[in-house]
Structure 1
Amino acid sequence: MKPLKVIAISLSFLYASATAQNISIATGGIGGVYYPMGGGLASVLSSKVPSMSATAEVTGGGSV
């Protein structure tokens, strides 16, 4: 029974990696320090990770 579980788990990982993934990176305001960092991270993830689309999203994060 154990080999069957290993095969099932392996197939689920393969399926998950084959589907496209979209993520949003929460940042602060456009004028803050976190927005450019989030944009850079989104750019690297989108270009280097196959089938991933990342975007930086403006939030109220970092404001006091």
Structure 2
Amino acid sequence: MSPLCQRPFQSNQFSKSFDAFADYGLIACPHCGITIKGNVDSMHLSHALSTQEEAEFNIQHPASPLQ
């Protein structure tokens, strides 16, 4: 989940040999574009959840009152 926009997304992790031109260790939110540090030995591809997947996620993980 993005700490900026608070929306969930999926991130897939691949070994460094996957793409020689990738930015290793960075996970980008597909909604707001914030970059989060991940495993520096991996490449991360992220994508938004479907509308249904995001609704199910929000039901299973309700936002805390402080957010």
TM-score relative to the length of structure 1: 0.22
TM-score relative to the length of structure 2: 0.22
Q: Which has the higher contact order (CA 8 A, sep 6+)?
A: 1
- Judging by fraction of residues, say which structure has more strand: 2
